[in-house]
A and B are shown apart, each in its own frame.
Chain A
Amino acid sequence: MSPRTKGKGASSFGIGTTSVLTETVARVLLLPTVVAAVAILVKGYAQPGDGFAAGVVASLGVMLQHLALGRREAERLAVVRHAPILAGAGLVLSLLVATVPLLLGDPVLTHYPRPGGHVIYLGTLELITPVLFDVGIFLLVFGSVVGTMNAFARTISEEQEYAGPGDSGLEYEE
């Protein structure tokens, strides 16, 4: 048995099996990916990156789990199972940031503190409402991409169970 076939899980999208090396890397990389995503999110106001990019980075981390470890392994993460709820929560959070100023007598999407106002710092992180808006975008993008992936992964695995083991792999027979 070669090392290439030693991996135990089929990947989510039915693209063959994966090696132990890939699996290990996938497991080890999950946490750093999330840390990188959060960094992109909170540093967005000072450096390149924002909620959107952070959401995509985090969902790429989940994508790696799907590809390397398979759907069941990926779905052991609670955030993966509840991705659509995260997406909805993100949308609601962004809408709240947009509409709450109305109740305070300001136009839609007024951010606080206003220009020239005093900003509270947490280390180098500025506590301003655009960050909250960005968190909403992050949740929405992460939830949407992961939710889409889950929908694909489930449909593919159901179809493979239906079609049997003979019809897998994307390699063409010439």
Chain B
Amino acid sequence: MRPPSEITCGSPGRIQRSERPNQRRFTVEHPINGALLTLAPLLVALASAPAAVFAGWIRTRFAAPVGAAFALLAAVTTLVVYLRGGGEVNVAWAPTWDLRLHFALDGLAALYALLATGVGFLVLAYSSRYLPLHLEHGGRDPSEGNRFYGFMLLFMGSMVGLAMAQDLILIFVFWDLTAVASYYLIGYDRHDANSRASALMALLVTGVTAVLLLIGALMFYAAYRTYSVPELAGLVRPGPLLNTAGLLIAIAALAKSAQVPLHFWLPRAMAAPTPVSAYLHSAAMVAAGVLLLGRVYPLLQESELLLNVLLGVGLLSMAVGGVLALTRDVLKQLLAYSTISQYGYVVFLYGLGGKYGAVGASFYVIAHALAKSALFLTAGAVSQATGEDRLSRMGGLRKPLPVLAAASGAAAAGLAALPLTIGFFKDELFFEAALQRGPVFAGLAVAGAALTIAYAWRFWSGIFLGTPRDGAHGVPAALVWPVAVLGILVLVGGVFVEPFAVLARSAGAAYYPGPVESVKPAYHLDLRPENLMALATFGLGALLVVSRRAWVGAAWGAARIGEKVGPEKLYEVGIIELNRFSDRVHSYEVRDLRSRIASILLPAGVLVGLAILATPNVDVYRVGSVAWQDAPLLLALVAVAVSAIAATFTRRHVTLALVLSSAGYVLAAVYAFFGAPDVALVAVLIETVVTLLFLATLKLVPYKILHRQARLPLQRRGRKIATSAIAGAGAFAVAWGTLSQPAAERSVSQDLVELTPEAHAKDVVTATLADFRGLDTLGEITVVALVLLGVATLLRKGRLR
């Protein structure tokens, strides 16, 4: 029998620590209460989407406040549960397949869950004012906002789930859920073809690579019989298996984090409304990639090769994203490339390894999320104020929008890692990690950070400095205060860095095997290498800003080459060719019903024939003896054969339906002779219903068409006879071969017969359907329900009544 599942979870009040130091694993007296407490952040986050949609269904304007309130509640819940010590829930819901609901609120989960819910709250507050303007601008109905809030919160819920999931299959499920939510959000302006194409591109790039994650998970499972990341961390050994499976998972993560060469979907995803972009870039989707890297880091760090792959990809993304960000004119495009380069830093930090790399990666994500979401929201606000979305058509907005200018200035300074912002510390850790690896890496780190300064300055100065333009007006307060909150957080982090550092250290401790307590970002007024590197960065950045004329041509050239031969081109050509191939197969397959059936029957018959030729056939086909008492059975079989042959000569559709059903009834009689009353009963009933519905279907076809069809001469007679003969011969040979072999071993059916009394049943068939094979039955009845929906869709345009 199946083993009982275990629930381990808890709060620090009544702790029994287990032997693993890095794992919080507690047991409590009330497992359900403890489990609910641990799962509270996830449950609140998952409940937010239906709540907001329901509120919006009552009154359209309720959706945004309810959604924002739920996001805030989820953030507070996450914080409270995290401060109480987190906890772990581990329930086997399908133990025979090792599928577990394994969630834990460790440091890593808390960090990303707080980002997803906290930034989510600010973005939703911003959307409550932005979205009505956006919809009004497009002349659309305000009620379309419901869809936006629903998917936005689904996005948030799946991010929280992804952050807390400790099981690779569970991670995969939430991973795909974020892809689905992002698809609907990027394609939110569904009347716009560009928007739809961008959404599809994001879905394909992240969805196809998600399959690699699943393959990697299955490879680990095949080797170690577990999907649990903490358990795998203790089991994996360096070797080809880790390299292959780890690389597959890393590719999925890198594609999600928009790393070169799978980065091209992110700038295209800017077709989404601005709040979506802000959220996607800072706290969801793109952050999910580095979250997964962090989650599986205990596995990846066993392999030198994988760390080097991360190093290379991170460096490449830093360079490509940084250079391209300096060439883009559309605000959101600039920010998109800057995100590619910024997550390149994070991947680079993972690749560098060590305690500074591990803690630095998490700290970097926090600092970047605060700054980047503020900058995106700024881009949206200034686009609303001016009606423009290009850097070259803006300028001088510090006069009409002073608060926004100050807040986004703080955010840009944070991105550029100036002192007195949280960003300074992200670069401090970044430099320390690079220094430990060697001078070459330190040099590359300085160059990358200088690029960041250059594009952060370009973004902010292009919008707010320079000569004022006409036509700019103020924006509603709801478009400014979320930016101000984020800007203040960036500055607060520049003074009181410890709370953020605690979170980053606790996240690092969740995946870095060594001690991380000594990683303390702080200001040091001395000439240590990190400070010198920071000074070099500022100088180099300033140089890049003033010498723009000298290098901008070369940057444009690089961008051109990328457009001509880059991975995006490859993707487009690939999609076009795949579409063409699919169209060709499709047009051949659905040309008419006859060739469709032939395309199933003929390959089936040929393959079966080949299999029969390939297997030994001595003593496989036997003719048994026939006794007198078999006479009724034989007569019934003759009747079946006669009606089958008659069906081939029947031209009228109604007659055909009746002839076919007569074959079915006689077959039911055969089952009854064989002592299978259950099967016989169902066969008779099904035959009756199907025949009547068949006749009703014929009634739906106009009589004249049926009549004409019945009189058409038979075309390609020879080919049809050959197809039928091959398929029939294959089926005959298989049936004969199977029935010639009495089951030599104990079959499953004997087990089921013996188990039936255990299930309190006397009828084996019913016990099998409802109990032993209940899951199969569940799948089948779901299909029945889907068939009903299909019929309703085809006949009644989707109306069930």
Contact = CB atoms under 8 A, between A and B. Distances in A.
A12 B157 CA distance: 49
A44 B766 contact: yes
Interface stretch (B110-118, B444-452, B534-542, B774-782): B774-782
B83 interface: no
Nearest to A127: B760
A50 B766 contact: yes
A73 interface: no
Most buried by B among A60, A108, A113: A108
A95 B682 contact: no
Contact of B681 (A49, A90, A98, A108): A49
A58 to B, nearest CB: 10
A113 to B, nearest CB: 7
B770 A134 contact: yes
B703 interface: yes
Contacts of B801: 81-82, 84, 150
Nearest to B770: A130
A134 B96 contact: no
Given A106-B5, A152-B697, A45 B791 contact: no
Contacts of A134: 766, 770
Nearest to A153: B696
A145 interface: yes
A141 B784 contact: yes
A52 B686 CA distance: 10
B178 to A, nearest CB: 24
B785 A115 contact: no
Interface stretch (B307-315, B483-491, B661-669, B792-800): B792-800
Nearest to A56: B685
B771 A107 contact: no
Contacts of B785: 87-88, 91, 140, 144
B654 A151 contact: no
Contact of A148 (B5, B760, B767, B791): B791
A154 interface: yes
A151 B4 contact: no
B473 interface: no
B50 to A, nearest CB: 17
A45 B775 contact: no
B699 interface: yes
Contacts of A130: 759-761, 766-767, 770-771, 774
A151 B791 contact: yes
A47 B763 contact: yes
Q: Is the interface of B mostly helix, strand, loop or mixed?
A: helix
Given A45-B766, A49-B678, A57-B685, A105 B4 contact: yes
Interface string A46-76: 1111111100110110010001000000000
Contacts of A87: 784-785, 788
A107 B796 contact: no
Contact of B688 (A40, A60, A116, A140): A60
Most buried by A among B93, B688, B761, B784: B784
B674 to A, nearest CB: 13
Nearest to A144: B788
B791 A147 contact: yes
B759 A115 contact: yes
B765 A50 contact: yes
B696 A145 contact: no
Contacts of B703: 167, 170
B161 to A, nearest CB: 17
Nearest to A118: B760
A25 interface: no
Nearest to B96: A107
Given A13-B696, A113-B760, A133-B770, A108 B93 contact: yes
B775 A108 contact: yes
A119 B759 CA distance: 11
B5 A105 contact: yes
Interface of A: 13-15, 40, 44-53, 56-57, 59-60, 63, 67, 81-82, 84, 87-88, 90-91, 94-95, 98, 102, 105-111, 113, 115-116, 119, 126, 128, 130, 133-134, 136-137, 140-141, 143-145, 147-156, 159, 167, 170, 172-173
18 contacts: A14-B699, A15-B695, A45-B762, A49-B678, A50-B770, A84-B800, A84-B801, A94-B778, A98-B778, A106-B5, A107-B2, A107-B5, A111-B759, A115-B759, A141-B784, A144-B784, A154-B795, A159-B700
